[in-house]
Amino acid sequence: MNKEVAIIGLGLIGGSIALAIKQAHKNVMIKGFDVNENQLQLAKALRVVDETASSLEGAVESADVIIISTPVVQTEMILDQLSKLQLNQNVIVTDVGSTKQSIVEHAKQTLPSNVTFIGGHPMAGSHKTGVSAAKSHLFENAFYILTPEVGLDTDKLRELKELLKGANATFVELDAQEHDYLVGLISHFPHILAASLVNYVSSSNNDERINVARFAAGGFRDITRIASASPVMWRDILLRNKRVLLQMIDDLKEELGRIHSHIEHEDGDEIYRYFSDAKDFRDGLPVRSRGAIPAFYDLFLDVEDEPGVIAAVTQNLAKEAISITNIRIIETREDIMGVLRVSFRSEGDRDRAKQVLDTYFTTYIDD
């Protein structure tokens, strides 16, 4: 495949797509552009891209495929800019945004008829950001959703999938509206709930009788972990998926009303059924499949509080060249099997670490 690909936005996702393409297609030339000059130069130094451009026009002028890897609002602005440039006659433009309907409609309204736009959303991520965190296997076994318009030339869709085959992702084709509902339900809405719960607890922390923040660790900190995501990104996502999310918030009010009624009427059977139904559905979710929210690869260790224990953990992992991303002592341990939580970059690293550390400590994986 002899093609020129322009990647606009060289962060974690854009950089990882570039590496995945390079891994599968040695003859593809990748030109990158980013408004952050440091990221741009770092991408070139790390050989994530073959060439860099000093402007959007310079990046896309001879590209066969343009991949926009920026936040949703910026993507729409870039589409506006592309509509005013002289692009290749048969160019394919795609994006990576986590909302699709607004972007697909914007592309339809702004891009000339000779440009093929195919909405895209690779459903993978990492706790790290920036091109230095990019890796070719970031999307491996993850869902990569494409939202081709009705009547799209199937050869163009095939061409894009072939270009992206090095991602080793599972391609799924959805209507843009279906995508926004699905991702709203399993990704956007949970982020709203996590932020709301944290803000609710934060407001309760004003009570001087008790230090809520000190005890809101352990399980609470874990179930609200996604509330630490970028406020700018989530502002844009929520505004672009407004209709879907407003309906879900209304539906949640009814759901909370159900459990409110069960508690109010002291209906033990219904309370039991409520939690039993939730447990059955949650326990039936695929353990090893990658979903809309990036997975956390944690190992919990049951260790005694004594000098040198953390050093023993890290030294044994270092001997096997297993990298960790975080290590934390857990104080509030209700429902958590272990006093030390060690986080890893991948499921494979975590499983290898469990084999190593099981020799010295009791370890648990909480899926």
Does residue 262 lie within any of the structural domains?
no
Among candidate residues 239, 255, 271, the one where a domain is terminated: 255
Question: Which of the four pLDDT bands, split at 50, 70 and 90, describes residue 289?
Answer: low
Q: What's the pLDDT score for residue 265?
A: 96
Same-domain pairing of 250 and 152:
no
- Shared domain check, 186 and 167: no
Adjacency order of strands within the sheet including 65-68: 51-52, 29-33, 4-8, 65-68, 92-95, 116-122, 143-147, 170-173
Q: 304-310: long-range contacts at Cβ-Cβ below 8 A with a sequence spacing of 24 or more?
A: 305/339, 309/340, 310/340
Q: What are phi and psi of 348, to 5 degrees?
A: -60, -45
Whether 9 shows a pLDDT value over 90: the answer reads yes
Q: For residue range 331-355, list pLDDT tens digits in order.
A: 544 444 456 788 887 778 888 888 8
144 and 229 together in one domain: no
Instruction: Indicate whether 213 and 77 sit together in one domain.
Output: no
Q: What is the pLDDT of residue 283?
A: 85
Assess if residue 333 is contained within a domain.
yes
State whether 112 and 36 are in the same domain.
yes
In a domain, 284, yes or no: no
The verdict on 324 and 193 lying in the same domain is: no
- Backbone CA torsion sign across 265, 270, 275, 277: negative
The 10s digit of each residue's pLDDT in 294-317 is: 667 788 887 666 778 888 888 888
Residue 193 maps to which CATH number? 1.10.3660.10
* Count of structural domains, the chain: 3
Q: Please tell me whether residues 122 and 203 are part of one structural domain.
A: no
Let me know: does 192 contact 238? Beta carbons within 8 Å. yes
Is residue 290 in a domain?
no
Quick one: 68 and 161 in the same domain? yes
What pLDDT is attached to residue 333? 42
Does 347 reside within a domain?
yes
Strand 143-147, strand 116-122: pairing: antiparallel
- Statement to judge: residues 33 and 94 lie in one domain: yes
The reply to whether 17 and 60 lie within a common domain is yes
Domain co-membership, 100 together with 147? yes
Q: Answer yes or no: is 279 within a domain.
A: no
Pick the last residue of a domain from 124, 154, 174: 174
281 domain-assigned: no
Select from 146, 174, 202 the last residue of a domain: 174
pLDDT per position as a tens digit, 128-184: 789 998 999 888 888 899 999 999 999 999 999 999 999 999 999 999 999 999 999
Q: Is residue 26 part of a domain?
A: yes
Domain that holds residue 225: 179-255
Residues in contact with 47: Cβ distance below 8 Å, sequence separation at least 6, in sequence order? none
